[in-house]
A and B are shown apart, each in its own frame.
Chain A
C-alpha cells in the first residue's frame, strides 16, 4: 500500500508531528499533575488547561489567516503573535 496519494511534504509532516507532541505533552502533564477545576478568566469563560490549548490553537489559525490576508507570506511574524497569544491565553483566559 503506497502512501504517495497523501502527498506528504517534510513541512506539513513536521507540523503534524509537533501538534501530536503538544497533545501528548499536555495529556502527560494533566495525567501527572491534574490541572484541577476550571477557572474563570478575563473573557468570563470557564476554562481548563485543555480548553486553553484549544483556544490557543484555534486563535493561532485565525492569526495566521489574518496575517496572510493583510500582510502576506512568509508568515513568520504571525508565529511571534501566536506565541504571545499562547502566553496570554494560558495566563489570563
Chain B
C-alpha cells in the first residue's frame, strides 16, 4: 500500500467523531475523577477527602477478591472460546447454502439483548423447571446454580461461551476466507499434512483477526455485568460477583459514590494497561 500523505487538515474530517465521543467520554470521566476524591451525602453536597477512597479500595479484601474472580473468569472464557471458535470456523462449509445457514444461526446469540441472555439461561438452567438443570439432575449430578458456587461458575462460563464464541467464529471465518485457493494447491503439491496446512497457512493468516478477537473478548468480558447479574445476581454469596457487579452494588446499592468512583478508575487503568499491551503487540504483528 502506498504511503499515506501528510495532511493536518484531515482533522476536520475527524472532528465530528471527536466531538461526539469526547462529549460522551470526557465529561463523565472527569465527573468520576471528581467523585473519587470526595464524600457525598446526596443533593450535590461534596466534601474533599483526598486519596482516602483509593487507599480504602486498594487495601480492601473485597476489591482483591472481585478482581481475582474477574481475572479467573476472563482467562477461562478466552481459553475456551478462542480454540473452540477456530475449530468451528475451520469445519464450516466454504460455499453453498450451508454458509448462509451457519452464519445466520451462529450470529443469533450475538443479537439477543444481554438481560434476555441472562433470563434465558436462568430459566434454561433452573433445577426444577429448566431443561439443563433437569437433565443434569436426572443424570445424578448435584447441580443447582442458585445454591452451589461450582454450578454457578460453570453456568456463567457456559453462558458466556454460548453467547460470544460466535464472534470468534465469524472473525476466524473471515480470516480463513481471505486465504487464496492457490496456497492450498501449493500445499497439496508439496504433500503437506493437515496439521502443517493449519500451522503454516491457516493459523498465520488468522493471526490478525485472532488478535482482534482476543482484544474484543478481553475488553468485553472484563466489563461483563448484565448477563451474570440477571443469571445469578452475583451469588450464591459473592462467588460470581465480578468487578462491574461489585461496582454497581457499591455505587447504587450503598450509594457510596466516592469508593465506587475510585474503584472504577483503578479498574479502568488496569483495562487500559492490558489493552495497550495487546494493541501494541497487534500493531507490531501488522508491520511485519
Q: State if A and B touch, Cβ cutoff 8 Å.
A: yes
Task: Tell me the A residues contacting B by CB distance below 8 Å.
Answer: 4-9, 11-12, 15-16, 31, 45-46, 54, 58, 61-62, 65, 68-69, 72-75
The residue from A9, A46, A75 contacting B34, defined by CB atoms under 8 A apart: A9
Knowing A7-B31, A16-B30 touch, does A73 contact B50 (C-beta < 8 A)? yes
Q: Is B272 an interface residue (CB 8 A)?
A: yes
Majority SS of interface residues in chain B?
helix
Contact B44 A74 (CB under 8 A): no
Q: Is B183 an interface residue (CB 8 A)?
A: no
Contact A58 B37 (CB under 8 A): no
User: What is the number of residues of chain B that contact chain A, defined by CB distance less than 8 Å?
Assistant: 27
Chain A residues, CB < 8 A from B75:
none
Contact B51 A65 (CB under 8 A): no
Chain B residues, CB < 8 A from A58:
269, 272-273, 276
Knowing A58-B269, A65-B269, A73-B50 touch, does A7 contact B55 (C-beta < 8 A)? no
Contact A7 B38 (CB under 8 A): yes
Contact A7 B34 (CB under 8 A): yes
Q: Please measure, in the bound complex, the distance between the C-alpha atom of A6 and the C-alpha atom of B40, giving whole angstroms.
A: 12
Contact A68 B58 (CB under 8 A): yes
Q: How far is the CB of A58 from chain B (nearest CB, A)?
A: 6
Which B residues between 45 and 61 are near A, CB-CB below 8 angstroms? 46, 48, 50-52, 54-55, 58-59
Knowing A6-B31, A11-B37, A58-B276 touch, does A68 contact B50 (C-beta < 8 A)? no
Task: Tell me the B residues contacting A by CB distance below 8 Å.
Answer: 8, 27, 30-31, 33-35, 37-38, 40, 44, 46, 48, 50-52, 54-55, 58-59, 266, 269, 272-273, 276, 280, 284
Contact B59 A69 (CB under 8 A): yes
Q: Which chain A residue shows the least CB distance to B48?
A: A9
Q: Please measure, in the bound complex, the distance between the C-alpha atom of A74 and the C-alpha atom of B55, giving whole angstroms.
A: 10
Chain B residues, CB < 8 A from A45:
280
Knowing A58-B273, A62-B273 touch, does A68 contact B55 (C-beta < 8 A)? yes
Contact A7 B46 (CB under 8 A): yes
Q: How far is the CB of A1 from chain B (nearest CB, A)?
A: 12
Chain A residues, CB < 8 A from B30:
6, 12, 16
Q: Which chain B residue shows the least CB distance to A70?
A: B58
Chain B residues, CB < 8 A from A61:
269
Contact A65 B34 (CB under 8 A): no
Q: Which chain A residue shows the least CB distance to B50?
A: A73
Q: Which chain B residue shows the least CB distance to A6?
A: B31
Q: Please measure, in the bound complex, the distance between the C-alpha atom of A12 and the C-alpha atom of B48, giving whole angstroms.
A: 10
Contact A74 B34 (CB under 8 A): no
Contact B54 A65 (CB under 8 A): yes
Contact B37 A12 (CB under 8 A): yes
Contact B40 A7 (CB under 8 A): yes
Q: Which chain B residue shows the least CB distance to A78?
A: B51
Chain B residues, CB < 8 A from A31:
8
Q: How far is the CB of A90 from chain B (nearest CB, A)?
A: 18
Q: Please measure, in the bound complex, the distance between the C-alpha atom of A15 and the C-alpha atom of B30, giving whole angstroms.
A: 10
Knowing A12-B33, A58-B272, A65-B266 touch, does A73 contact B38 (C-beta < 8 A)? no
Contact A73 B276 (CB under 8 A): no
Chain B residues, CB < 8 A from A65:
54, 58, 266, 269
Contact A7 B50 (CB under 8 A): no
Chain B residues, CB < 8 A from A62:
269, 273
Contact B37 A9 (CB under 8 A): yes
Chain A residues, CB < 8 A from B54:
65, 68, 73
Q: How far is the CB of B65 from chain A (nearest CB, A)?
A: 15
Knowing A62-B269, A68-B58, A69-B59 touch, does A4 contact B34 (C-beta < 8 A)? no
Could you show 11 A-B contacts with beta carbons less than 8 Å apart? A4-B44, A6-B30, A9-B34, A9-B37, A12-B33, A15-B33, A16-B30, A58-B272, A58-B276, A65-B269, A75-B51
